Structures are given as C-alpha cells and as structure tokens.
Structure 1
C-alpha cells in the first residue's frame, strides 16, 4: 500500500489457471472495479484478470499471440491492448475489451505493421520496442520503427497519428521516445536529452528535471500512470547527494535537506524510490 506495507502476491509462475509462464510485460490496476490485469511478455494470446486481493478471476482470450503487449485502462472500465504487430505473423495491432466482454480488434495499415526479419532472413522482431506510459486518459503508444506517437480511439476503432517532431535529430544510434503529459509532450532523443513541447504556449525546449523537494537533486524523466518516479540503490543515491552538495549552486537550504537525507541512508538498505503525482 502507500505506506509500504505488503498486501499480497498476484498470480504466480507456472502453467496452471491464473499462472503465467515467463515474465510479464504490462499491467493495469482498476481500483474502481477492484481488479488487476496482467499481460505476459510474449507467446500468450491471453490477458490475465485478478481480484485486488490477488486471487485469479478469469482470462481474456484475444485469439492472437501478443508480442510485448501494452495495456491501457479507459475511464469507463474498458481495456485496450496494443503490441508489436509482426508482418506475416499477426493481423491485430490493437484489441479493445468492453466492460461487457465484447472484443473489437484493429488491423494495422501497411505503415504500422513491423517487419520482424532482417536483410539476411533472421528473426529480429523483439529488437523493436513499444512504449505506452498512460499519463493521460488517451491510449497513446509508439513503436521503435516509427517516428510517430499514435492514439487509439475505441469508439471509432481507429489508430491516428497524435504527435511527431519535425526535422528530428538524425544518426545511426539515434532513436526517439515520445510521452504525453497533461498539457505537454516529451520527446526523448536517446543519448542527447529530452525536449518538452508546451501545447498552450506552442514552445519547445531541451529540458532537465530537478527534485526541488530534495535539495535540487537531478531527476530522470520518468513518468508513467500519472506519476513521476525515480529509484536508486542506496550507494548510487549517496553519490548523487554528495555530487549535489559539492555543486556551486547548492544553497544552504538545499544542503540542510540533502544532509538529512544522507544521514538517513545506509548502503545495506533496500532501494529508495521517489514518487510524485502529476498535476492536471
């Protein structure tokens, strides 16, 4: 729970009812309807549904094997899932499950489907990635082969382009990751930095994030399910605090907060997580 108290396990590794073989790739927690959805990494055509107490409830059969699926819970309690749709192996790109269990599937266009083979005929489909961070009510997602953030509309069963950079940085090792926050888009240029695009002001800038609740510590651009988060091993966090304390711009107030945090840490502690809820 929010105080760190263990509640329960959800499912388990195995082949039986409510169990999953291998790792999981996505989850959705429906607190209103008191259930949890889990999606296996690959090789399964099912989404597993559990009660909030961790007991198994049911499976949702999709009729097609999923590859790195991403789940999205809509305000009406319906559920959508997208995945890497491989050419010659998959037909469905997105599925929507209504509260009454009705399943609707979206078939991709030629531009949206992914070729999983390299020039030598080797299967490399899982080298691709899919991102969906669920920071707004819209179901947005992006796949590595494309430069566009897509949005799925369940009422129309359509996938449309939501956002893309004009004249994005180019390079052999450059790839982009898009994320939508309330009122903003984030475009992470891998290896370079993150661009924030303000929708109201129609402005964009490379940005850095600092944790001003904890002495101006540098913070990663991690936003998912409506929250900021950052997790550190204690020694790593201690090093970051020492680095910040030695910075020229570290104020006396910052030093007071940072030293108090530093004194509370032990290198044998569990990881430390910072969490903050996004404002609308």
Structure 2
C-alpha cells in the first residue's frame, strides 16, 4: 500500500520512480532487527502534496482561552489526555505551567517557579495522568525526582528517580511503571531505565561510549506514535525503538545527507518522517516521508485538507496525536485568504467567518490536534 499524492503519474513514471527509490532507501539487519537507511542525496527532488487526512482520523481546532492569568509566551511542550491540555511555556520564569480543557478553557496554573521542593525552574518534560488526577513535571538538568501535582494545580508529592542527576529527561507513566529516557553525559551512562512509582529500578539500558555527550548541545526526542516508545537521539543521529520485553534499544532509522543540515527524525505508524533545514539557508526547510512497506522516499508539502488547505506549520506529537500551533494573527491571515476561495464548502466557510470574527490577532495560540491513524488505517493509493 502506498501513500496518496495529488500528482497523477503514468505507469512508466511510477516504475522509474520506484527503481530510484530502491536505491535511496536501504534495509539493514542490526542484531536481528530491521533498520531503514534513507540516502537523502539519492531521493527525487520533486516535491509532492500530502494531505493531512492521510495521517489523521480526527481533527480538532482549539483556541486557547486568553486573559491576564493564562497568557502564553512561547509554547515549549504540549501534553494531552482525554479531557485536558497541558502547556509548558519555554519561559517558565514568568509563565507557569498551565492546564486547559480540551475545548481550550483555562483551568489553572500548575505549581510555581522557584527552588523549593514543590517548585520548578527549567523543565524538560511533562505528563498528564488523568486516571490518577495527576500532572507530572520533570526538570532539565541534574534531576533526581518527578514533581506531582493534582489537576487543580496543587503539589501532591515527589517521585524519586532510581538514577540521580540525570539530564534532559523525557518520561512516560504506564500503570505503576515509569519509563525514563535521558541524555547520557560522559559520567552518566544510563540512557533509558524503568522504575516503580516508589523509585525502585525495574531495568535499565546503559549508553554505549559513542552515545556519551560532552555538553548539552544534543537533544533527545521521545514519542509513542508507532511502537511503544521511539527515541531519536541527535548524538548518534539515529531513531531507536525501545523494546521493553527484552530491555533493548533497537536502531530503526537513520539517514545520510549530501551536506550538513539541521534535522530530526520521527515515526508514524506507516512511515518515517525527516524534517530538515539548510544550515546556510534557514528559510529552506523540507519534509520527507519514507513509507515503511514500500520503502519509497519523497519530499512532501503537507496540506491541511481538513481545514481549508491552510498552510501547515511546525508540529509536535503527544500520545499518538499530531499538534499544530498557530498564533492568532497568522491564522487570521490564513483564514481571510481561504475565504477568497469561491469553492470553499459552505459549512467550512461559516466556520471560518465565525473564527475570523473572534480573532483579533492578540489571543493565545490556536491548537489544531489530529489523532494519528494506526497502521491498519493506512489509505490505499
């Protein structure tokens, strides 16, 4: 099964393209597991349109409530649960963590900035556990605990970490188990560990010497979109799967580039995604999709066909969701341009007019959240 694209290609062109793709994407066996390597320099340069509806099963537009007590400066992290949205601002010094409902109504600030045992300074990650009525936060560097708050924003308890003084941690809570990933500085050799809620070690994966970081320049990105947990670590330029049963990190994807780029790898149920930016030309940003089954690699322009084909900007993931963030001034411009389209569907046009009237350009960000399809939800070409 292949991804749907707006280009209608003749059979001869398709055959030629597939021949090229067989060279641009290579499958390797690493410790008995499949790993894909995309040779970006060999991928066809033409850019194709990819509809957002290929990736998601549902789509919500959520303007976040705006007033003095819930202003957002710059979103650093978004976490979701069934009924809540958590926002971690990059500037937690003046903008504490905030909790909204899934309609965008502000509920409360969560905790406060400070150096006390119930407070935080810089944050690396957050997790909403609605079943336990908990909002968990974790610090950025030298971390030895997770801070727990209730959904009223009140501190409840700290969870001790099994390994101390970890850096840039990312974590998930599944039942009574915490899975924590961290960037391994040279003297801190664990890259992932699992523990109980009381801090007892279940298991851990030591970092190999090539993973050791000497400073904080690298990043780790952890998602749960396709496998249980996917880890992209810039220090070794590889996306891994964490196998909880065998307690192993298995390399799943990497790429080669013709020249230096800033890039990230992410994984969806049906494909790997490369976002890249030219170091010499930061305005040149590209998106590439690598289909897992066909091993086709294509540059794509992602189009939001679920919301009037407005441009798609930077996105994040959380718990199998893809999240787009728009500032209100930007979205208002996109909506006004879309309203010039005489072929705009009546229902969507009415929705755009209403939203355009609501937006002044000075509101909190507007979120667009799509639920990612699982592998069985792939769209046939």
TM over 0.5: yes
Q: 1:34 to 1:150 in 2, by over 3 A?
A: same
Deviations, residues 162-196 of structure 1 (Å, cap 9, x unaligned): 2123xx22323x03311111222111122441111
Q: 1:46 and 1:99 mapped to 2: Cα distance? A: 11
1:90 aligns with 2:188: yes
Q: What's 1:17 paired with? A: 117
1:5-84 equivalences in 2 (<5 Å): 5-20=105-120, 22-54=121-153, 55-74=155-174, 76-84=175-183
Unaligned runs of 5+ in 1: 117-124
CA shift for structure 1 position 49? 2.8
Deviations, residues 227-247 of structure 1 (Å, cap 9, x unaligned): 22222222222233345567x
Superposed CA RMSD in Å reads: 2.5
Q: What's 2:269 paired with? A: 182
Q: 1:50 and 1:153 mapped to 2: Cα distance? A: 30
1:122-161 equivalences in 2 (<5 Å): 125-161=215-251
Question: Runs of at least 4 residues of structure 1 off by over 4 A?
Answer: 242-246, 257-260
User: Is residue 45–residue 64 contact of structure 1 (8 Å, CA) maintained in 2?
Assistant: yes
Q: Which has the higher contact order (CA 8 A, sep 6+)?
A: 2
Q: 1:245 to 1:7 in 2, by over 3 A?
A: closer
CA shift for structure 1 position 85? 0.7
Q: What's 1:119 paired with? A: none
Report the number of matched residues: 262
Q: What's 2:258 paired with? A: 170
Unaligned runs of 5+ in 2: 1-100, 279-284, 375-381
Q: 1:10 and 1:52 mapped to 2: Cα distance? A: 8
Deviations, residues 84-119 of structure 1 (Å, cap 9, x unaligned): 1111x31221121235643133211122222x1xxx
Q: 1:188 and 1:181 mapped to 2: Cα distance? A: 13
When the two structures are superposed, what TM-score results if normalisation uses the length of structure 1? Answer: 0.82
When the two structures are superposed, what TM-score results if normalisation uses the length of structure 2? Answer: 0.62
Q: 1:28 and 1:136 mapped to 2: Cα distance? A: 18
2:294 to 201, 212, 225: 201
Higher share of residues assigned helix: 2
User: Is residue 49–residue 60 contact of structure 1 (8 Å, CA) maintained in 2?
Assistant: no
User: Is residue 124–residue 169 contact of structure 2 (8 Å, CA) maintained in 1?
Assistant: yes
